[in-house]
Structure 1
Amino acid sequence: MTDSSAGDSGDAGDADSRPIVYDLAPDCTLTDVDVGARYHATVNGVVEYGVFVDLSENVSGLLHESNLNGEEYDVGDDVVVKLEEIKENGDVSFALADVDDYRTLDVEHEPEITAVDDARVGETVTVEGEITQIKQTGGPTIFHVADETGIIGAAAFEEAGVRAYPAVEVGDLVRLNGTVEEHEGETQLEVEGITVLEGDTAATARERLDEATAERAEPASVEPHVEWEAFESLREELAEVARLLRRTVLEGRPIRIRHHADGDGMCASIPVQLALENFIDEVHADDDAARHHLKRLPSKAPFYEMEDVTRDLNFALEGRARHGQKLPFLLMLDNGSTEEDVPAYKNLTHYDVPIAVVDHHHPDPEAVNDLLDAHVNPYLHGEDYRITTGMMCVELARMIDPGLTDELRHVPAVAGLSDRSKAEVMDEFVELAGTAGYDRDELGDIGEALDYAAHWLRYSEGKTLVNDVLNVGCDDESRHHELVEFLATRAARDVNEQLEMVEPHVEHETLESGAHLYTADLENFAQRFTYPAPGNTTGELHDRKVREHGEPVITIGYGPDFAVLRSDGVRLDIPQMVTELNEEVTGGGVSGGGHLVVGSIKFVKGRREDVIDALVEKMGEAELDEELSSTATLD
């Protein structure tokens, strides 16, 4: 029984030995009373064998004539009674309380709270938690309430299309009672009442929920797929991102994943997407919740373009207006670390949109870190791009859902081969993939198929297709192998046709450093708007020249207002070169980025010759490094 002192009790600091008479709140039930205690009651009926009295709207019983001592009562009379017995059938009997001088304590109803995870169809329950979403339909108002075990939808009806309980807002702590039913295949609570918690009750509930959420948000402690000293410094930061993402799901906030549209970007995003979908399904009573709370989209550029952020923000604001959702958590994968991302991030600062980045492009931490909630990048730990984003995100996915460990054994190798990583543990990753039935050639084919699919998907998610290609979340192993063979074969055919057109027109010169420079005019001698795109065309040409002539080699593929850059064995700093070019070529409008030795730049069409000449001059001054080799391609 929870009580609070009423006016008759005097100063709260004074000892008061007077007997207590309890005054029940209207919603109190039998769970709030005790045999032997005294209560204020009101007569609600008079019969020959006694009078019936009410202690609250839900607690009534008989004061038998044998206990009336000859007293007579009318309906509406107030009386102080003592609870004598609660019978097995729920009947309650009272006696008159022999008390004159007493103090009154108010009693608030303390319902039996049912955890969301324990709510069963057909039961009448009371749930205590936080409102995470309010959606007004053409019929009822749908409230989503989260407790320490999960999130459930609750339908409250005022009248068609009219907001029920308009005082209840997202973020409120509430007690919500009703009957659990199944609606269109989903578990849903049919609301009978909602009470917003206040004061100590709210504080206690908040503390309980925060503690439970923090505990449940903890990432799994998983052993690395492959022991790699260079990777160890990243694990703690990846665990923090996993913690943020799990907490985001528990709080009912949607998640939007943006990733670079290439093999490594897909190897990064697909495992994380599957891990989050599994966790969303675990948290939400709605089996279709993942479709509403998680969205993955590719980005063609290796940075967050204003076009992308405008689309994302518009989609999020529409979701908030139409579905009552919180604004999403933005997860950037295989892009997002550079100064070029800053305008898009600053656009999001006007709204409540947390941002986390996992990337291996050369970062500009001074430009972006203040705009991010988390930033994982090997460069920030003295490592480099040979640790691909796909390798990092496989570990991130396992921290979110360790049950995916076996399903992801081949993905780090696919990511590394797709981005041509020269990591010292690549052979170990390939051996690990061998335990899943893949050899090196098959892994390379998966990477080629992913790149090919990404090119034609353009800005679409293509979830089922890319999951089948990568064999993550795929339900048909034979379809996976047939699809990879088909797409990889088409990709190889298209690459060969493209290089046959380009190679006769490739220009070659030897720089003062001794490096071989190959330049290709992709505007006039390559097919545009087909596969392979300029980035892949340049990368394939470069790899062919390295195989033919060895290092050091630099390759530039250029068009009317862009250039794609690749190098092996030359110590280039492409991000720094871009900065210098933008300062030195007046009116050039130079922008771009990428890895240290793999990049793409844009410029004003009329200044192309000046930009390319200045770029070649800088490349000629770069030092040779036999151990430095490119590890990625850019579209």
Structure 2
Amino acid sequence: MSENTAGDSGTRGDSSPEPDADAAEGAADDRPTVYDLAPDCTLEDTDVDALYHAEVNGVVDYGVFVDLSDAVSGLVHESNLDGDYAVGDRLIVRLTEVKENGDVAFDDVDPDDYRTETVAHEPAVSRVRGLAPGDEATVEGEVVQAKQTGGPTIFAVADASGVVSCAAFESAGVRAYPEVEVGDMVHVSGTIESREDALQLEVDSLKRLPDGRAAEARERFEAALDERAEPADVDPLVEWEAFEPIHEDLRDLARLLRRTVLAGRPIRVRHHADGDGMCAAIPVQLAVENFVREVHGDPDAPRHLFKRLPSKAPYYEMEDVTRDLNFALEGRARHGQKLPFLLMLDNGSTEEDVPAYENLAHYDIPIAAVDHHHPDPEAVEPLLDAHVNPYLHGEDYRVTTGMMCVELARLIDPSLTEELEHVPAVAGLSDRSKAEAMDDYVALAEGAGYDESDLLDIGEALDYAAHWLRYSEGKTLVNDALNVGCDDEERHEELVEFLSERAERDVERQLDAVDDHVEHERLASGAHLYRIDLDEYAHRFTYPAPGKTTGELHDEKVTETGDPVITIGYGPDFCVLRSDGVRLDIPNMVTELNEELPEAGVSGGGHLVVGSIKFVKGRRSEVIEALVEKMAGAEIDEALSSTIALDD
């Protein structure tokens, strides 16, 4: 029995005087309690020998029938009556027996003084996970979505075990239970039915829990979410001491993402549109979508609750955040969803990301970033709920985002392990990583049936697809190219062959166009410096884009010389930087250029050996000459050289 609120003291019958207030207060602990059942109370809310307020609903020769609530009725036998009653009379009864057949017996009682307590119905609460068609169920949970259709109102209610869709009908297109809002803790009761391969609760009643009970329910809910959000206990794919502290950060993020799904919040992913970015985003997408499907029991749920989009810029541009924010606000208005959790992959760690993050902060949108670019933690971390970056643990860009996100995906859904074994090697080769674990990753991929040429072709195919997809997700195409979530091995092989061959053809065509126009000089440090005006001499608006063109030219020169090499590819208001065997520290160069040439509007960043910079068009000459001067004084560092591997 649940006692909710104490009522006024009194005696039976309207003609009986109320007890003296002072006497009642002094005798409060000694007076018997008479319970007043709420209309929806059942026998489960009663106790034998307890006293109840009742109302006569029928008079027969052998006694009177009384109601305690809509569902609790019984007989006061004539032998146990103290007076004469008519239908509608109120009396106090003692529940004496609940018989095996369900009949309930009462005695008529007449306490001199008593206190009243109201009893709210405490239904037997069912877990969402385990519901089946035909069940009569009551679910306690949080409303995570309230969507009005042309027919019923659809409420999504989450408990720690899952999320169930609840259909409540007032009239066609009219909002049912308008007092219930997203974020409320509720009890929802009804019958479970199957709708389009998903479970749906047909609502009989939906009630917001009062403040005290809501707080208790939320405390239970949050504790249960924490327990189920725990990530899988899996070790990294390869043994790598440098990765251990990063793996702990990934565990924390996996816990946060699982909890986000359990709480019914959508997730939106932004990732760099290149091979490493794709290798980061696709495994995470597959893992999160699997978990969404499990939690919601609806094969279509991921389509509404997960969205992945590439970003062309090496930071979160205002254009992208405006699109994302508008999409989120429209989703809340049209579909009653919570605002999403934003996950930045292979992007999102630098000061250039701050304006976009500050825009999202107006709406309290949570953000996490997994990135291997040189970070500005003091700038971004006040705006992030989680930040995973190898630089935060004394490592660097050689730990690629794809390597990290494969482990993140496995922590969310370890069943994907076998399908993802080749992906870290693809990510590392795509990003030209010189990580000490690269040999182990390549060996792991070989064990899964991919030789190094296969891995390089997959990376090239991903880059080529990403270029033409531009701002589109291209889920099936990219999954097939990476062979993750692909259901046709033969199609994967044919697609990779087609895309990689076209990419190779277009790269050769581009290099043929620029080769005769490359400027070369030897710096005092002994490094070779190559420059190319991409705006004048490269094919535009086609593959490869300026960044890829600069990278391919750079790799060609590294192979030719075997020496430290710096390559600059520039256009009217940008330049792309690559180095091999030279420690450029591009983020620091950007900071210095802003101090030296404040009118040039320099922005950008990257790693120690690769990056991109934007500037005011009319200041291009000063910016590039200042860059070259800094490069001339940059330290030669064999640890950053690929010629070591070439010599081997």
TM-score by length of 2: 0.93
Output the CA distance in 1 between the equivalents of 2:111 and 2:285: 67
Alignment of 1:211-230 (within 5 A): 211-230=223-242
Within the alignment, does 1:64 sit opposite 2:63 as a pair?
no
The answer (yes or no) to whether the contact 1:360–1:379 under 8 Å persists in 2 is: yes
Q: Does 1:335 align with 2:347?
A: yes
Matched, 1:444 2:456: yes
Deviation, structure 1 residue 100: 4.9
* Contact 2:147–2:154 (8 Å) recurs in 1: yes
Q: Does 2:15 correspond to 1:2?
A: no
Aligned match for 1:368, one of 374, 380, 384? 380
Distance 1:328 1:240 in 2: 19
Rounded to whole Å, the distance in 1 between the matches of 2:169 and 2:587 is 58
Counterparts of 1:240-255 in structure 2, within 5 Å, are: 240-255=252-267
CA distance in 2: counterparts of 1:581 and 1:206, whole angstroms: 52
- Distance in 2, matches of 1:94 and 1:317, equals 57
In structure 2, the residue matched to 1:55 is: 68
Match of 1:31 in 2: 44
Q: Please identify, of 87-96 and 313-322, the stretch whose mean Cα deviation from structure 2 is larger.
A: 87-96
Superposed counterparts of 1:330-409, under 5 Å:
330-409=342-421
CA contact (8 A) 2:140 2:186 kept: yes
Pick closer, same or farther for the CA change 1:11–1:286 going to 2, 3 Å: farther
Asked whether the equivalents of residues 535 and 571 of structure 2 are also in contact (C-alpha less than 8 Å), the reply is: yes
Amino acid at match of 1:26: P
Change (3 A) 1:294 1:630: farther
Corresponding letter in the other structure for 1:578: V
Deviations 1:560-589 (A, max 9, x none): 222111111112111122222233336322
Equivalence map 1:196-275=2 (5 Å): 196-275=208-287
User: What is the distance in 2 between the residues matched to 1:380 and 1:82?
Assistant: 69
Matched, 1:467 2:479: yes
> Does residue 129 in structure 1 map to residue 151 in structure 2?
no
Using the alignment, how far apart are the partners of 1:365 and 1:14 within structure 2? 65
Between the aligned partners of 2:31 and 2:604, the Cα distance in structure 1 is 81
- The aligned counterpart of 2:16 is none
Confirm whether residue 79 of structure 1 aligns to residue 87 of structure 2: no
Q: Distance in 2 between matches of 1:471 and 1:298?
A: 19
Q: Deviations over 1:443-481 (max 9, x none)?
A: 111111110110010000000111111111111122111
For residue 417 of structure 1, give the secondary structure of its aligned residue in structure 2. helix
Contact 1:28 1:110 (C-alpha < 8 Å) held by counterparts: yes
What is the Cα deviation at residue 258 of structure 1? Answer: 0.2
Is the contact between residue 43 and residue 54 of structure 1 (CA under 8 Å) also seen in structure 2? yes
* TM-superposed deviation, 1:68: 3.8
Aligned-partner residue type, residue 7 of structure 1: D
Q: Is the 8 A contact 2:28 2:115 kept in 1?
A: no
Q: CA RMSD in A?
A: 2.0
Percent identical among aligned pairs is 73
- Secondary structure in 1 matching 2:448: coil
Shift in alpha-carbon separation, 1:47–1:355, aligned structure 2, 3 A: same
Shift of 1:298: 0.2
The match for 1:138 is 150
Kindly state the Cα deviation for residue 18 of structure 1 after the two structures are TM-superposed.
Answer: 4.7
In 1, Cα distance between equivalents of 2:190 and 2:60? 34
CA positional deviation for 1:603: 2.0
Of 604, 619, 623 in structure 2, the residue corresponding to residue 607 of structure 1 is 619
SS of residue paired to 1:220: coil
Q: State the SS of the aligned residue for 2:129.
A: helix
Q: Provide Cα deviations, 1:528-553, integer angstroms capped at 9, x if missing partner.
A: 11111111111111111111111211
Higher mean displacement: 71-80 or 583-592: 583-592
| Alignment counterpart, residue 594 of structure 2, candidates 582, 585, 599 | 582
> How big is the shift at 1:629?
3.4
List gaps (5 residues or longer) in structure 1. none
Q: How many Å separate the matches in 1 of 2:626 and 2:104?
A: 95
The CA deviation at 1:36 is 3.6
SS at match of 2:424: helix
Residue 122 of structure 2 is aligned to residue 110 of structure 1: yes
8 Å Cα contact 2:236/2:247 also seen in 1: no
Question: How far apart are residue 6 of structure 1 and its match?
Answer: 3.5
Shift of 1:186: 2.7
The reply to whether residue 289 of structure 1 matches residue 289 of structure 2 is no
Return the alpha-carbon distance in structure 1 between the equivalents of residues 282 and 275 of structure 2: 11
* In structure 2, distance between residues paired with 1:467 and 1:478: 13
Equivalent-residue separation in structure 1 for 2:527 and 2:115 (angstroms)? 96
Tell me the residue number matched to 1:319.
331
Whole-Å Cα distance in 1 between the matches of residues 245 and 476 of structure 2?
34
In the alignment, structure 2 segments of 5+ residues that lack a partner are: 11-22, 644-648
Q: CA deviation at 1:524?
A: 2.1
Question: Higher mean Cα deviation, 502-511 or 33-42?
Answer: 33-42
**Whole-Å separation in 2 of the counterparts to 1:82 and 1:228:** 72
Distance 1:477 1:13, change over 3 A: farther
Partner of 1:484: 496
SS at structure 2 position matched to 1:551: coil
Q: 1:629 to 1:40 in 2, by over 3 A?
A: same
State the Cα distance separating 1:13 from its structure 2 match: 8.5
TM-superposed CA distance for 1:53, in Å, is 0.9
Match for 2:610: what amino acid? V
Match of 2:536 among 524, 529, 543: 524
For the 8 Å contact 2:9–2:24, the answer to whether it is kept is no
Q: Shift of the alpha carbon at 1:167?
A: 1.5
Q: In 2, Cα distance between the equivalents of 1:305 and 1:224?
A: 33
Q: Which moved more, 1:352-361 or 1:8-17?
A: 8-17
Question: Aligned AA for 1:143?
Answer: F
8 Å contact kept, 1:597–1:630: no
Rounded to whole Å, the distance in 2 between the matches of 1:558 and 1:588 is 15
Tell me the secondary structure at the aligned position of residue 102 of structure 2.
coil
Decide whether the 8 Å contact of 1:153 with 1:286 is kept in 2: no
CA positional deviation for 1:158: 2.0
Q: Any idea what the Cα deviations from partners look like across 1:118-177, whole Å, max 9, x if unmatched?
A: 322222221111111111222222111111211111122222222222221211111111
